Structure 1
């Protein structure tokens, strides 16, 4: 049976197209297989302090390292650690002090920090500028606010002991994290234990000048010299795909450097993901974070991403004391610097 020429041509064309499509499948599959998927969880809802991750995505830094990184919002810097530890995520942006606690409880199972972002933990106490609380000693007999089990509250007795304050004479009221500043401003509490990089901009959003209207007691200024949040990875990713860990660190490092050089570009990348954010507020949050907890004198010497081993050992001891841990992990169990780019690539000048 013969077909008309037009029908025969159509059959040939369809067959050729199908053959080409089938031939392309292995190529597409091979390309997909070349990318290592990484599920990454943040410490909180999208804010200016997360901008560099999206800048890395937009500028192709993850793809250049053959990584397919999926970024999800989080619900706490300590929760990010437990989510990675549980296997729900391969990596995340979480609190090294939570890593220390988990490493003490389950040696060999806790995630490992591979790139320190917050060289200084952003724990602080805030009171109104007109408050009679002018020194830490003045906190005795006062009522402070904190989320139940909040890290700043848990570390308070340590700061109190180092400054001659009787922690037993300080009362605490539990509240939701998003109500801390409101409760203080409405005088329901006389002070609050906060995460400074979040609280600072919460105050701005409520029409308060956090530099003039609020008195700050930063833990790092009062004997509690802890590190903060950074990029952490699961033990499995560390063991099975070390090249992916190295690529992730390189990509984040490039994006952090780019963010310092051009904060507007980083905030623009963030706004693409969450257009309802206040762009000016989030840029101010980013700059505040760079200035207060990231670009410290230690970073000026040792570069972004690394830690000082002696200081880390002291910090581990302080966390052990504050949380009454049965044992303390070593600095090497908590932080692994093998994947850091050379110092020249991690040097950052303050903006």
Structure 2
């Protein structure tokens, strides 16, 4: 078994940089950000995708009158520097006819985003779709109304977060890698089939989180895991065609060169798991 210590990240770019440098044994991070990092020398692959459907999103308040992505011009957007949605914003902007340099970034830690938005210190924030129940509830408490722009609904449905493995571990410790990937994917499969029990475990370790919001977060996460591809090939499986689209897209929009399909992913360690969703 594994005696695991979970270290909180500060965005995918920071996580990948630390992981590539050997600061931790395994990591969970964003695939397009990994592709960018790979082009800069980070010898890391994704070895099991968790969020088959992209979770990137931008959120605001209806009161801020941002009705379309084009309304973001000149707006202040709150985000941590390494946030995956922020890293991918230039591509989102190009797809939707926005000058990426026309927005103003306000750097902040992830916990500061909600208050900054509600208090009017920023006009929008970067987030993952799974976080929308929390933002919506906090907006409602302040007498305001939440609105979000999921990137996947605006032309940017790429592979999102997955389990990362360094190339040196794949070469030198393949059995350990296999055990970790299998254990993690089995935990996800169990959680999908036993959502109430999984939520209880999560809330035990995160007592400050509102149970109703946690339930909604988890429902969204499962929706983005249990895609048609996952139901057909098993959760965690990486489809070569979709990964090629992801690599090609990042290469095109970020002028990345020298990163091949084989550089960024492997299905070598992914178990064949087909969990059945349990309503909750």
TM-score range, shorter chain: 0.7 to 0.9
Q: How far has the Cα of 1:133 moved from its partner?
A: 1.8
The answer on 1:346 being equivalent to 2:278 is no
Partner SS, residue 231 of structure 1: strand
d(CA) in 1 for partners of 2:226, 2:238? 13
Q: How far has the Cα of 1:350 moved from its partner?
A: 7.1
d(CA) in 1 for partners of 2:52, 2:31? 10
- Normalising by structure 2, we get a TM-score of 0.86
Name structure 1 gaps, 5 residues minimum.
Answer: 1-66
**Corresponding position of 1:37:** none
**Mean alpha-carbon deviation: is it higher for 243-252 or for 166-175?**
166-175
**Corresponding position of 1:235:** 167
**Mean alpha-carbon deviation: is it higher for 309-318 or for 137-146?**
137-146
d(CA) in 1 for partners of 2:68, 2:137? 27
Q: How far has the Cα of 1:126 moved from its partner?
A: 1.0
Match of 2:62 among 129, 139, 151: 129
Match of 2:248 among 294, 297, 317: 317
Name structure 2 gaps, 5 residues minimum.
Answer: none
**Corresponding position of 1:68:** 2
The answer on 1:333 being equivalent to 2:263 is yes
**Corresponding position of 1:294:** 225
**Corresponding position of 2:237:** 306
**How many pairs align?**
276
The answer on 1:78 being equivalent to 2:34 is no
d(CA) in 2 for partners of 1:350, 1:332? 35
Q: Deviations over 1:68-99 (max 9, x none)?
A: 24232222333332332222222122222232
**Corresponding position of 1:34:** none
| CA shift in 2, pair 1:280/1:202, >3 Å | closer
| CA shift in 2, pair 1:159/1:127, >3 Å | same
Q: How far has the Cα of 1:204 moved from its partner?
A: 5.2
Match of 1:91 among 20, 23, 26: 26
Structure number, greater radius of gyration: 1
**Corresponding position of 2:118:** 185
Q: CA RMSD in A?
A: 2.6
d(CA) in 1 for partners of 2:239, 2:20? 25
d(CA) in 2 for partners of 1:296, 1:146? 28
Runs of 4+ aligned residues of structure 1 deviating over 6 Å after TM superposition are none
Q: How far has the Cα of 1:172 moved from its partner?
A: 3.0
The answer on 1:154 being equivalent to 2:84 is no
| CA shift in 2, pair 1:241/1:71, >3 Å | same
| CA shift in 2, pair 1:140/1:334, >3 Å | same
- Normalising by structure 1, we get a TM-score of 0.70
Alignment of 1:138-149 (within 5 A): 138-149=71-82
Higher-RCO chain (CA-CA 8 Å, sequence separation at least 6): 2
d(CA) in 2 for partners of 1:318, 1:117? 20
d(CA) in 2 for partners of 1:341, 1:284? 27
Q: Is the 8 A contact 1:74 1:80 kept in 2?
A: no
Q: Deviations over 1:309-334 (max 9, x none)?
A: 22212212332344443x24222211
Partner SS, residue 88 of structure 2: helix
Partner SS, residue 208 of structure 1: helix
Partner SS, residue 98 of structure 2: coil
Partner SS, residue 124 of structure 1: strand
Q: How far has the Cα of 1:246 moved from its partner?
A: 2.0
Q: Is the 8 A contact 2:136 2:145 kept in 1?
A: no
Q: How far has the Cα of 1:149 moved from its partner?
A: 4.7
| CA shift in 2, pair 1:235/1:152, >3 Å | same
Q: How far has the Cα of 1:253 moved from its partner?
A: 2.1
Q: How far has the Cα of 1:337 moved from its partner?
A: 0.2
d(CA) in 2 for partners of 1:277, 1:145? 22
